[in-house]
Amino acid sequence: MASSPNIAIMGAGIFVKTQYIPRLAEISNLIVLKAIWSRSEVNTEPQFLLRRFNCFIQSRISYLCAFQESARAAVEIARRHFPDVECKWGDKGLNEILNDESIIGAAVVLAGQTQVEMSLKLLKAGKHVLQEKPAAASAREIEAALSGYKSICAKTPGQPIWAVAENYRFEPAFEEGGFILDMGVHFIAGLRMLVGSEVATVSARTSHVDTILPPPDNISAVFQLENGCSGVFAMVVSSRSPKVVWRVVGLTGTLQIQRGSEDGRHGYLVSFFGGDGQSKSSFHAFSGVTEELKVFIRDITQASLKKECGYEAEPRLTFLEGARDVALLDAMLESGRKKGAQVEVKQF
């Protein structure tokens, strides 16, 4: 039986401490967390960090003042489950991870504007990468990133996997049925997975309601799918009573997925309303983060074993899927800047 793969986490912020480490601990029989890297060893100065989606659901979007990420603090938490995890920081620590052949993969959980650069460094060193969403800041950055990735793959044996951690694509509910960019890709991912067809064009209006938030904080868009169907996408991040719903209306019934809770568990209620008047519902607790980590671990393990013949990674986890989410939201924002003009979605 193959030994568990060694991975590193690049970043030591709130999301690493509250999500990545606990979720990896749940599957510690499958993985070895060898190192956690940060820019600094200890907290040095306050900065604004935002876990946008969680804050949005619990109350409203707000800025949270937290301390700068520190490798030491994250390692102390991780050692409860991974006693041998090492603390790395700065350029020296980064180089040690890049040159450590025992580390075959890394999770990149950094500020959005630095993630692509870090991912490409790791990929160039032959590491498989699971990068936090969004895949990039714009369609233009995606094009440059994909070009860099193709160049790396052409020179690197085994073609390292570049995955984007979009947990919505791994929530059982969907299998059954700047600022706004960071949140919006979640909902776009859910939409694209449900409809099963790419969006061809969009026409959107954007506005800035809550001046505490960066603009825009509202999007209302009409979109058309490649198969000819059309739909509406609305996102209001300044709402004090948010509701997250996907609804697909068809000839023989309507499918609805709504975020909520049941018996103290948070998750999704999936409802189907048939044309014959019958309906059925089922509840699925959140599990997307754990599932995407399991799939990434499986992929990098198999890719390491099949370097010579190649390995095709899980499509839902690919950088390309994350790129398509960003491209759609980018088109909506462009249309908003153009006062609702129709914009074609960049296809990747």
Q: What is the CATH number of the domain that holds 107?
A: 3.40.50.720
The verdict on 251 and 235 lying in the same domain is yes
Judge if 333 and 261 occupy the same domain: yes
Same domain? For 281 and 294 the reply is no
Number of domains in the chain: 2
Residue 206 within any structural domain of the chain: yes
Structure tokens that stand for 267 in this block: 């998750």
Per the CB < 8 A criterion, the answer to whether 301 and 313 are in contact is no
**Shortest CA distance to 131 belongs to which of 47, 141, 140?**
141
Identify the segments of the chain with pLDDT beneath 70: 1-2, 41-69, 175-180, 182-183, 308-309
What is d(CA 40, CA 56) in angstroms, rounded to the nearest whole number? 29
Q: How far from 130 is each of 17, 319, 334, 337, CA to CA, in Å? A: 17, 9, 28, 32
Tokens of 110: 């950094």
Extract the tokens encoding 173: 């509910």
Same domain, 38 and 140: yes
Kindly state whether residues 44 and 68 are assigned to the same domain.
Answer: yes
Are 199 and 225 within 8 A, CB to CB?
yes
Residues 298 and 266 in one domain: no
Residue 292 pLDDT: 94
Q: Tell me: do 18 and 150 sit in the same domain.
A: yes
- Say what the pLDDT of residue 245 is: 94
Is residue 279 domain-resident? yes
DSSP secondary structure letter of residue 315: G
Predicted model pTM: 0.83
3-state DSSP call for residue 246? strand
Domain contains 215:
yes
CATH classification of the domain holding 235? 3.30.360.10
* 159 and 38 within one domain: yes
Q: Same domain, yes or no, for 183 and 232?
A: yes
Would you say residue 1 lies in a domain?
no
Q: Residue 161: what pLDDT?
A: 96
Tell me if 21 is assigned to some domain. Answer: yes
**Could you tell me the two tokens for 163?**
């995955």
- In 3D, which of 253, 247, 178, 257 has the Cα closest to residue 219? 178
Task: Determine the pLDDT at residue 305.
Answer: 83
pLDDT at position 60: 37
Same domain, 10 and 151: yes
Question: Is 226 inside a domain boundary?
Answer: yes
261 and 119 in one domain? no
**Residues paired with residue 199 on neighbouring β-strands, in sequence order:** 225
187 plus 84 within the same structural domain = no
Q: Which domain holds residue 234?
A: 172-285+328-344
